Amino acid sequence: MPEGKGGRKGRRNQASGKGQQTNAAGPASDAAESQRLRKEQQQVLEELAQTEKEEGFESAAALLERRAANLAPGPLARAHLELAERAKRVSSLQQVKYHMGQALKAQPRASQVWLDICRTLEELGELEQCRYLLERALESCTPTDQLALRLVRVLERLGDLEAMRALVGTMRSDLDKSHKVLIEAVHAEVRMGNGEVARSILQSILKRMPQQGPIYCEACRVESILGHWQEALETAEQGVQICPKYGPLWFVLLRQAEKLYGAAAVKEYAPNAIASICSELHWKIYFEVATACSREGALPQCRQSIGRAALQCPRHLRWKVWLLAARAELWDGSADACRRLLAQARMDAPSRMQVAVCIERARTEEFLGNLTGTRVAFGEAHNCEGHDWKVFLEHIFMEARQGCLQAAVSTAMCALELHPATGRLWSALVALHHSGEGASAALETFKKAAQEVAKSGEVWCEGARIFMNPLGPHFNLQRAGKCLEFAVHLTPQYGDSFLELFRLRFLLELRSWIRAEPLMLGLGTPGAWDARRYAVLALVLHRICHRAAQALRCRNFPLTVQRGQDEFQTAQDLTTEGAPPVALNRLEILCSYADPNYGFLWFWCRSSSLSTPREVMERMAEEILRDFLRGSLRVYVWALVCQIAGADAETAQQLRQEALQEDLEYFEEDERADMEDSPAAPHTRRAPVEADFALGSMRLSSCFLQSVTCLSSSERRRLIFGSDILSS
């Protein structure tokens, strides 16, 4: 028997009379046994699901108890984990823990079983028990990256950085096996505000493992999150010199170069990238160059790179190149050329991607003001193969951008009949009701949505907006904070949740000012409302408004509240139930790590696809300042003063009139800025209404009432083309 096929084991088999046939049957028998176990596991899981559906959870658990003695350890452990998951759905915590314990008894050394159990415990909020099990798993099982990674994340959530550092310290000797865990610890340090420590650790890892392209990518990411753009570019340059064939690093380099030096730098790096990476990626390099030139309006260079990309691009992806070309021609004002390129993209796109081209055509026609063509394109998109809820969502947004709220609501209702478990459709319906019918109607829709799609961060964000509406009857910053914590925890890629947390931070600061106001401290507990108490509240309102307005005008508004719970004093308010609290003082870094990529308010505040989360939040700060100085500040302060003082309805109404009559002289500068940004927008001074607070920005909310025709071209472009098909 050849040495490579059997070796000494084969010779031993021949000597014992088993021969070559027995040895060849070894791997085959192992494969057959593995297939048998998979089949047995699938059969047991199907039986459990069917029994639970017909007879309930208790019957399914009894069935497993009867079958347990005849099941192999693997299928038995998987069956207990399945029952634990089903027990979690019916909120039976005792049964969850029982079946997880049985799964561990069946396979005590299987790391995947420990990981699945810890995932469930994390979802239940049992972080201390999760930590204990992970520490035991590292002792009981063969240590794996996944176990250590999960433990690092749990320790970060618990805030025990010392334990995390001790764990990582034991793994430094064998970097080849543990570098992923070390990098996860580096990111944890950044999220906790220890950026310089994280940078030094990353540099040490790079010195010991200089041939690892992914580590250079992680180092560039950390530098970018911390705002060190030049250092990120230098790290990427160093990486491509040492790992020239690692394609993803070249694309990181091109992005960093464009961020710092524009399209010219991208063109300069492109030849070296093409000479280094595999030929299958060459078209993507040309695509990046074309995109950078398009962003700068350099149409001739853009057309040249688009042509090269089209020649080298695989045929099934060529439609993306034509979409980019169509965008470039549209920004240049060549509507006919844009439409011809969209037609070519439709011809080249695979059947399942036809819908994306139709959506792009609908956006283009809307941008050009051809609403008839827009609706025709949406009709074609609905008829395309494989169309889904995203077509409905785009259609809803289009109708809303035109101020056609009833048409948008009708489209949303039709969409939910077909896709009732889609959170983004529910969140759109809540927003539409908030804009058109008020906060009370939106709250009823929000309650239904929370029942249908409890894990949708978009829906929880809309709930927060209802509770942050100062003119609605449900204004409550504590509830808003809880909703936003759920939103960020469940759907971190949804940018609006982070921006609303940023707005909440301003409101919590105003609340702390009002509580610390000496006149409020001397007011005492609510009693009979008379002229003196009313006069005190009116004076507090006046003082807080002018103090805040002055700070805003000087761009010196302090944000000292660290967490949303800081302003809620009772034991009930300080409960740890629900989603983990968000550290508001580290909101920018947390947002950068989440790297959100969609959201109506997010697109409104994002100037381009190159904008970083930090820059988007800076733009949101300007939006908040503008809204405050245009009148929302007085309304927020009025609502907070009434809530803290426990004012009755009559006094609250009188105070509202007092707030609206506050001196308006500090609005003038902001209105001139509005005129410069959007000369087409009407700037008639009016008192805020309930619908102005439906979307997190007063100007954005007005689009649902007056349509986007009152916006500038750049603002319309951001809203219409925000969710970029080209990068999907």
pLDDT tens by residue, 537-574: 888 888 999 999 999 998 889 888 876 544 544 444 43
Backbone angles phi, psi at 598, to 5 degrees: -160, 170
Q: How many whole angstroms separate alpha carbon 283 and alpha carbon 642?
A: 61
**Which of 44-53, 155-164, 440-449 shows the lowest mean pLDDT across its residues?**
44-53
Task: Summarize the confidence of residues 406-433 as an average pLDDT.
Answer: 96
Evaluated on CA atoms 401, 685, 622, 446, the torsion sign reads negative
Cβ atoms within 10 Å of 24's Cβ, excluding its own: 15
Q: What is the pLDDT of residues 311-328, one digit of tens each?
A: 999 999 999 999 999 999
Boundary (domain end) residue, out of 169, 204, 222 = 169
Boundary (domain end) residue, out of 169, 192, 209 = 169
CA end-to-end span of the chain? 53
At 571 the pLDDT is: 41
Is residue 360 domain-resident? no
At 90 the pLDDT is: 78
What lies within 8 Å, CB to CB, of 75 at 6+ separation is 37, 40, 41, 44
At 14 the pLDDT is: 40
Q: What is the pLDDT of residues 614-670, one digit of tens each?
A: 999 999 999 999 999 888 999 999 999 988 888 777 778 777 777 776 554 444 444
Looking at the structure of the chain, the number of domains it has is 2
Per the document, the length of the chain is 728
Nearest C-alpha neighbor of 389 from the set 363, 427, 361: 427
Is residue 284 domain-resident? no
Task: Summarize the confidence of residues 329-333 as an average pLDDT.
Answer: 93
At 4 the pLDDT is: 43
Boundary (domain end) residue, out of 118, 139, 169 = 169
Task: Summarize the confidence of residues 479-499 as an average pLDDT.
Answer: 95
Domain around 710: 485-726
Nearest C-alpha neighbor of 364 from the set 720, 21, 632, 654: 720
As a whole-number percent, the residues of the chain with pLDDT over 90 amount to 60
Is residue 604 domain-resident? yes
At 678 the pLDDT is: 46
CATH of the domain at 157: 1.25.40.10
Is residue 580 domain-resident? yes
Q: Burial of 171 by CB count in 10 Å (0-12 exposed, 13-18 middle, 19+ buried)?
A: middle
Please give the DSSP secondary-structure letter assigned to residue 630.
I
pLDDT above 80 for 302: yes
Average pLDDT, the chain: 86
Q: Which residue type sits at 664? A: L
Q: How many whole angstroms separate alpha carbon 2 and alpha carbon 169?
A: 46
Task: Summarize the confidence of residues 682-709 as an average pLDDT.
Answer: 79
Is residue 347 domain-resident? no
Is residue 664 domain-resident? yes
Nearest C-alpha neighbor of 379 from the set 390, 369, 391: 391
Q: Burial of 317 by CB count in 10 Å (0-12 exposed, 13-18 middle, 19+ buried)?
A: middle
Is residue 60 domain-resident? yes
Is residue 365 domain-resident? no
Q: How many whole angstroms separate alpha carbon 677 and alpha carbon 635?
A: 25
Q: CA dihedral in degrees (126, 128, 134, 137; nearest 10)?
A: -100
The helix, strand and coil proportions of the chain, stated in percent and rounded to the nearest 5, come to 75, 0, 25
pLDDT above 80 for 679: no
Q: How many whole angstroms separate alpha carbon 123 and alpha carbon 111?
A: 19
